[in-house]
């Protein structure tokens, strides 16, 4: 498995359209298509996560025949599946039938209560822990796996399941050998010993981004009045709000099972997405106990840790409820309130962690190589808050934090904004994606402010406030404050350097690199739906053809494309290197360098260090410019990288 390419399928970008992309993707070096959910979803679905018939391939995407024809083109397919929930409407015959609804869904016919997916009323939880329901939901997918149409599965939201470990074991037993889980790990949290290849890569994304955040900039950025309170406080407050409002019906259900007062507070205080206590087996791992003790006390803690028995349903439902509370409280609220450095506000990230060291990054990679060497590596997904290129630019603000803080104060004061929070949100976002179309930022700022839920929200939108915010964004684009454009250009230069560094890490660290659709050229995308705009594949085909013919990259976007095609060709040439060891190379505190399988050397300067050197044995050839280097006596990093901001070498 060389690399995956994530595609968001739509009626316009269906199986036939993807089939036409296969020659381009094969030339780029991609080995596997990574497709969004492709079973029959509700009419007009734009994403496929609202399946109404899991026994059929989507008609809107071309149907099963077209999917099989796509697979016959020779690229493997990793398919995103949704075992946790289905769409509820008359289109779903299992929901429309009252008896089937009670059998298939997590639904109580006496009072009509059902488990929702997060706070979405028209997505209902499915009882995949029941063997018959498992068969119903997976019969078509497993048939496609058996027939070789599907090479691997990406499991959406496993934390919503009653028994994630048991579910994944059943998948493996039924022939799904290659499975990745959309499991959100908090920094420092380890993936459980499940029968999977690994996660979908958010922990790598956050480590790579944090590596390029300069710790020296923390004090200046934190001092800005609109940066926000310490993130831990912001997040806890937002989680309590969500537990007591949005998820009040879920908390009420828990209270019917155990009448204690602190249920909402415990859900909010849990330091990880969920625990994996098994009432049926008595299994409680040390990580579970630590999380429970951090969140609960008294009788509730005893029940959750199985010290008091007889509450199996409460334990299971508590564990299914904490992930939505965390996701909506942290990712969809606190991340839009805490504005110290938006580059750190990413799925699975901790904005309170202001950067990591090269040694810490190495340690995480050593762990990946040992436990999950085929986990996915990403810098952007359909769920990220911004693209990798935008994240890298905003991260670069940390390298010039004092200057930014001095400039941002007057810019915020001069902005015609409804409040400082809105002004700073827009300014920091513009620094990450300048220049950008006015309409895109106007749409983004409304979504971001509704998610923050401070003065407007999805439930109670304040149209006057939002109109003022849109005018603010528009005016800042049409008439940027004095000095902003020059500063944004410097941020772009540094951000592009960091983005290429993070890209090389993704292409060479332990794991399988994924390229999100369109991200092989510069992608200045914001949160969904901005990151699902149509991709100009004709421009990408033309650029790849130029580079393959020997032309040099003309701009940053073509440098990204060139780095991807060269690194993926190297992975194909030297597969044993990337299946082998990960060995950190000491090149100083500001350079991340490592060997893969003794055959490949990657060198990624994080920050400038004129004296940094890399030493090794024998002769090496640059994959990027074909120069040869004898590293026996050591060589300066500046010489190794040449005209690139990174170096990638193979043994000569």
Q: What is the pLDDT of residues 582-616, one digit of tens each?
A: 999 999 999 999 999 999 999 999 999 989 999 98
Residue 511 pLDDT greater than 90, yes or no? yes
**CA-to-CA distance for 303 and 256, rounded, in angstroms?**
14
Q: What is the pLDDT of residues 232-286, one digit of tens each?
A: 999 999 999 999 999 999 999 999 999 999 999 999 999 999 999 999 999 999 9
Q: What is the pLDDT of residues 389-421, one digit of tens each?
A: 999 999 999 999 999 999 999 999 999 999 999
Give the three-class secondary structure for 174: coil
Q: What is the pLDDT of residues 428-461, one digit of tens each?
A: 999 999 999 999 999 999 999 999 999 999 999 9
Q: Region 524-530: what's the mean pLDDT? A: 98
Assign 228 a pLDDT band (cuts: 50, 70, 90): confident
Residue 45 pLDDT greater than 90, yes or no? yes
Residue 41's DSSP bridge partners are 51
588: left (phi over 0), alpha (psi -120 to 50) or beta: left
Residues whose CB falls within 8 Å of the CB of residue 524, separated by 6 or more in sequence, listed in order: 387, 389, 390, 432, 433, 436
Assign 312 a pLDDT band (cuts: 50, 70, 90): very high
Is CATH 1.10.760.10 the right assignment for the domain spanning 409-491?
no
**Contact indicator for 495, 475 with CB cutoff of 8 Å:** no
Q: Region 150-155: what's the mean pLDDT? A: 98
**Which two structure tokens, joined as six digits, stand for 167?**
């579910």
Q: pTM here?
A: 0.97
Residue 32's DSSP bridge partners are 4, 76
178: left (phi over 0), alpha (psi -120 to 50) or beta: beta
**CA-to-CA distance for 245 and 544, rounded, in angstroms?**
51
Residues whose CB falls within 8 Å of the CB of residue 92, separated by 6 or more in sequence, listed in order: 42, 52, 53, 86
**CA-to-CA distance for 343 and 593, rounded, in angstroms?**
23
Average pLDDT, the chain: 97
Q: What angle do CA 593, 596, 599 make, to 5 degrees?
A: 110
**Which two structure tokens, joined as six digits, stand for 342?**
């938006």
Percent of the chain with pLDDT over 70: 100
Residues whose CB falls within 8 Å of the CB of residue 578, separated by 6 or more in sequence, listed in order: 508, 571, 596, 597, 600
Q: Pick from 371, 378, 374: which is nearest to 346 by CA?
A: 378
Residue with tokens 């048991």: 166
- 409-491 and 579-652 have identical folds: no
**CA-to-CA distance for 405 and 408, rounded, in angstroms?**
5
Give the three-class secondary structure for 288: helix
**Contact indicator for 599, 507 with CB cutoff of 8 Å:** no
**Which two structure tokens, joined as six digits, stand for 132?**
């018959």
For the domain made up of 579-652, the CATH class stated in words is: mainly beta
**Which two structure tokens, joined as six digits, stand for 437?**
């179309």
The ranges assigned to domains in the chain are 4-182, 229-338, 409-491, 579-652
pLDDT for 189: 95
Assign 314 a pLDDT band (cuts: 50, 70, 90): very high
**CA-to-CA distance for 89 and 650, rounded, in angstroms?**
56
pLDDT for 101: 98
**CA-to-CA distance for 185 and 163, rounded, in angstroms?**
17
* H helix or E strand, kind and range, residue 77: strand 76-81
Half-sphere exposure of 641 (CA within 13 A, CB side): 26
Q: Pick from 171, 137, 166: which is nearest to 154 by CA?
A: 171
CATH fold for the domain made of 4-182: TIM Barrel (3.20.20)
Residue 225 pLDDT greater than 90, yes or no? no
- Residues, the chain: 652
**Which two structure tokens, joined as six digits, stand for 584?**
């950190």
**Contact indicator for 134, 123 with CB cutoff of 8 Å:** no
**CA-to-CA distance for 78 and 541, rounded, in angstroms?**
23
Residue 580 pLDDT greater than 90, yes or no? no
**CA-to-CA distance for 486 and 430, rounded, in angstroms?**
13
Assign 644 a pLDDT band (cuts: 50, 70, 90): very high
């Amino acid at each position: 498995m060389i690399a995956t390419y994530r595609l968001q399928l739509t009626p316009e970008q269906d199986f036939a359209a993807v089939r036409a992309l296969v020659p381009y993707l094969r030339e780029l070096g991609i080995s596997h298509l990574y497709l969004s959910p492709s079973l029959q979803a509700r009419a007009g679905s734009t994403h496929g996560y609202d399946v109404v018939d899991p026994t059929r391939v989507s008609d809107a995407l071309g149907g099963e025949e077209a999917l099989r024809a796509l697979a016959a083109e020779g690229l493997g397919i990793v398919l995103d599946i949704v075992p946790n929930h289905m769409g509820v409407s008359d289109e779903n015959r299992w929901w429309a039938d009252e008896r089937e609804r009670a059998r298939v869904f997590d639904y109580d016919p006496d009072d009509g209560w059902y488990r929702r997916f997060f706070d979405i009323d028209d997505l209902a939880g499915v009882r995949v822990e029941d063997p018959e329901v498992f068969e119903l939901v997976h019969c078509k997918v497993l048939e496609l796996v058996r027939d070789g149409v599907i090479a691997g599965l990406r499991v959406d939201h496993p934390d919503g399941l009653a028994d994630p470990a048991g579910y994944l074991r059943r998948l493996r037993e039924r022939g799904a050998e290659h499975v990745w889980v959309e499991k959100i790990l908090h920094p420092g949290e380890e993936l459980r010993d499940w029968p999977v290849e690994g996660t979908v890569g958010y922990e790598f994304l956050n480590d790579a981004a944090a590596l390029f955040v300069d710790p020296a900039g923390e004090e200046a950025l934190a001092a800005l009045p609109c940066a926000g309170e310490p993130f831990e406080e912001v997040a806890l407050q937002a989680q309590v709000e969500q537990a007591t409002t949005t998820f009040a019906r879920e908390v009420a259900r828990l209270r019917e099972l155990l009448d204690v007062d602190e249920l909402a507070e415990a859900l909010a205080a849990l330091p990880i997405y969920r625990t994996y206590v098994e009432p049926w087996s008595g299994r409680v791992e040390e990580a579970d106990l630590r999380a429970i003790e951090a969140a609960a006390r008294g009788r509730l803690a005893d029940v959750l840790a199985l010290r008091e028995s007889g509450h199996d349903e409460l334990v299971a439902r508590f564990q299914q409820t904490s992930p939505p509370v965390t996701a909506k409280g942290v990712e969809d609220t606190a991340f839009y309130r805490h504005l110290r450095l938006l580059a750190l506000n990413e799925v699975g990230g901790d904005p309170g962690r202001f950067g990591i060291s090269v040694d810490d990054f190495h340690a995480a990679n050593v762990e990946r190589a040992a436990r999950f060497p085929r986990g996915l590596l990403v810098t952007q997904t359909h769920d990220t808050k911004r693209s990798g290129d935008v994240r890298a630019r905003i991260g670069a603000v940390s390298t010039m934090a004092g200057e930014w803080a001095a400039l941002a104060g007057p810019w915020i004061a001069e902005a015609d904004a409804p409040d400082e929070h809105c002004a700073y949100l827009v300014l920091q976002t513009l620094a990450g994606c300048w220049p950008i179309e006015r309409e895109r930022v106007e749409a983004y700022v409304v979504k971001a402010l509704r998610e923050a839920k401070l003065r407007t929200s999805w439930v109670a939108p304040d149209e006057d406030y939002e109109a003022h915010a849109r005018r603010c964004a528009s005016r800042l684009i049409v008439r940027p404050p004095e000095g902003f454009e020059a500063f944004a250009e410097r941020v772009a230069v540094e951000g592009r350097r960091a983005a290429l560094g993070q890209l090389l890490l993704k292409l060479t660290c332990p794991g399988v690199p994924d390229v999100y659709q369109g991200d092989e050229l510069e992608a200045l995308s914001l949160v969904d739906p901005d990151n699902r705009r149509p991709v100009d594949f004709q421009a990408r085909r033309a650029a790849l053809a130029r580079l393959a013919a020997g032309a040099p990259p003309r701009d940053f976007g073509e440098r990204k494309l060139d780095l991807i095609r060269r690194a993926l060709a190297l992975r194909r040439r030297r597969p044993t290197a990337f299946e082998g060891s990960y060995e950190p190379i000491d090149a100083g505190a500001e350079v991340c360098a490592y060997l893969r399988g003794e055959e490949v050397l990657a060198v990624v300067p994080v920050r400038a260090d004129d004296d940094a050197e890399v030493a090794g044995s024998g002769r090496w050839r640059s994959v990027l410019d074909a120069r040869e280097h004898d590293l026996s006596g050591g060589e300066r990093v500046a010489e190794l990288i040449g005209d690139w901001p990174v170096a990638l070498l193979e043994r000569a």
